[in-house]
Structure 1
Amino acid sequence: MLQHPEFIEGRHWRKARYDANTPIFSEGDSGRELYLVLDGTLRVLGKLDLDAQRHIQPGFGELGPRDIFGELVLFDEMTRSATVMTVSESELAVLDGDELLRFLDAHPEIGYPLLKELMTVMVGRLRKANQRIFSLFAWGLKSKGLDTLL
């Protein structure tokens, strides 16, 4: 899609380079851009408050070339749900979410396959999240000795 003659670099999207250990955005930020990894490795982090004074940032996963993130901006106007930080020097395609939606509306022959691919990515991430929830639930039961009651 980045090569489509009507999806113009500089208007609809731009390339950006980031040094290692650079935050792209943080959980709670507002934003209307989504990103395609062209080169490099990035880490997706969450924020977990253990109590009023203690916080940790567990990693949810890593992203590499051809991975997309920030795609939720296409579906709602909520703040960012995670922090994304570069692990290595990285090059990203930064897409304006509103411009992308207008482009996809004008080109449904491109829009449908792209949205279908995005849904495939999102479903895979949801399945992984469900597995993590089940694992944490099982760990909690075991830590309390409740797993023997089942």
Structure 2
Amino acid sequence: MFRIFQHFSDTLLRRLAAIAQELAVPQGKSLFTEGDGGEDFFVIIGGSVEGGRVTPVGRQLVVRLRVGQMFGDESYLDAKPRPMTITATQDSVVLRFDSYQVRALVERDLELNVALLRAFWHSLATKIRQANQFMAEVFTKRDTISYAGCPAEGEDVDLGPGKKLELFKERGLSAAELRLLAMTLTARRYPPDAFVFVEGDKGDCLYIVVDGRVRISRRLPELGEETLAVLDRGEVFGEMALVDDQPRSADARAHLDACTVLTLTQADLEDILSLPPTAAAQFLRLLDCILCRRLRNMVDLLVSWRMMAGFGS
């Protein structure tokens, strides 16, 4: 079983496989092009593909995918045009999942909906982490900024259940079970420019911004700190650590002013996933949409950096 489907029971896998269309893709053939419409998604079962964009200075690579990985899920989730051109790098075989059939299926099968949303989360997080790695490869060496004298870590604060519930409601998390969970999450406050975590840290939780803003950035040679994203109230970050147990791939710190975040641990996540399917799907759908937006933004940024550094094929 592929890792993205590790949370599927055999029954759920059979239901999803029943609507899959197997396609043979010769080396060099593109399955779709940047800017195309279409919301079908694909899983590679043989061979490999690359995602890239054509620019005035040549083609820019943004993602490499192999057997067991998924692509096209961004457009399935957010109904926006394809963010990149996907091309087979060798003779390949993929499974194509028609978006209309999938939507009809998950509407009837709430358990399958939760499992598929979780698979999308894993797929998107993997591509975001790879984009981060490609950004590092643009430069010939890694930065070595010392953290001596960094601002103190945050401290636990008591927000009260009302503020937590209000945040969840704003994000469309209306299920009673999620509102109950919100009241149990720990809140932490960080002073201006304090680090929530730094690149290379071991991650054991994700965060939800309650107030203030959080800056996601990397420290790069010759450029210093390069901002990847600035997150506002209701945004989620640090979610990749709960997918692949890898170290943090970027820094997160309070942006300009102080910020308050809710922390959601692996145990909290398991509690969410054990909720009734409607409640679990609400949370996973929100997380997936946030990751879609972040991946699209990172692809734009990566292409710009590669062009500035003289990359292109």
TM-score (norm 2): 0.40
Matched, 1:20 2:210: no
* Post-superposition offset of 1:5: 5.7
- SS of residue in 2 equivalent to 1:137: helix
Letter in 1 for 2:202: S
- SS of residue in 1 equivalent to 2:245: coil
- Find the counterpart in structure 2 of residue 76 from structure 1: 244
Contact 1:26 1:84 in 2 (8 A): yes
- Find the counterpart in structure 1 of residue 209 from structure 2: 37
- SS of residue in 2 equivalent to 1:93: strand
- Find the counterpart in structure 1 of residue 305 from structure 2: 136
Alignment partners' CA distance in 2, 1:5 and 1:43: 27
Task: Describe the shift of the 1:103–1:117 C-alpha distance in structure 2 as closer, same or farther (beyond 3 A).
Answer: closer
Alignment partners' CA distance in 2, 1:89 and 1:28: 23
Higher relative contact order (CA 8 A, sep 6+): 1
* Post-superposition offset of 1:38: 0.6
Matched, 1:61 2:233: no
* Post-superposition offset of 1:74: 3.1
- Find the counterpart in structure 2 of residue 127 from structure 1: 296
- SS of residue in 2 equivalent to 1:7: helix
Alignment partners' CA distance in 2, 1:101 and 1:64: 25
| Alignment root-mean-square deviation, CA | 2.4
* Post-superposition offset of 1:31: 2.0
Contact 1:35 1:94 in 2 (8 A): yes
Alignment partners' CA distance in 1, 2:192 and 2:205: 20
* Post-superposition offset of 1:14: 0.6
Alignment partners' CA distance in 1, 2:284 and 2:179: 20
User: Sequence identity, in percent?
Assistant: 24
- Find the counterpart in structure 1 of residue 254 from structure 2: 86
Task: Describe the shift of the 1:137–1:31 C-alpha distance in structure 2 as closer, same or farther (beyond 3 A).
Answer: closer
Alignment partners' CA distance in 2, 1:8 and 1:113: 13
Contact 2:213 2:259 in 1 (8 A): yes
* Post-superposition offset of 1:40: 0.5
Which ranges of structure 2 fall in alignment gaps of 5 or more residues?
1-163, 166-177
- SS of residue in 1 equivalent to 2:234: coil
Query: How many residue pairs get matched?
Result: 137
The ranges of structure 1 where at least 4 consecutive aligned residues each deviate by more than 3 angstroms after the TM superposition are: 2-6
- Find the counterpart in structure 2 of residue 99 from structure 1: 268
Task: Describe the shift of the 1:60–1:5 C-alpha distance in structure 2 as closer, same or farther (beyond 3 A).
Answer: closer
* Post-superposition offset of 1:9: 3.8
Larger radius of gyration between Structure 1 and Structure 2? 2
* Post-superposition offset of 1:55: 7.6
Which ranges of structure 1 fall in alignment gaps of 5 or more residues?
none
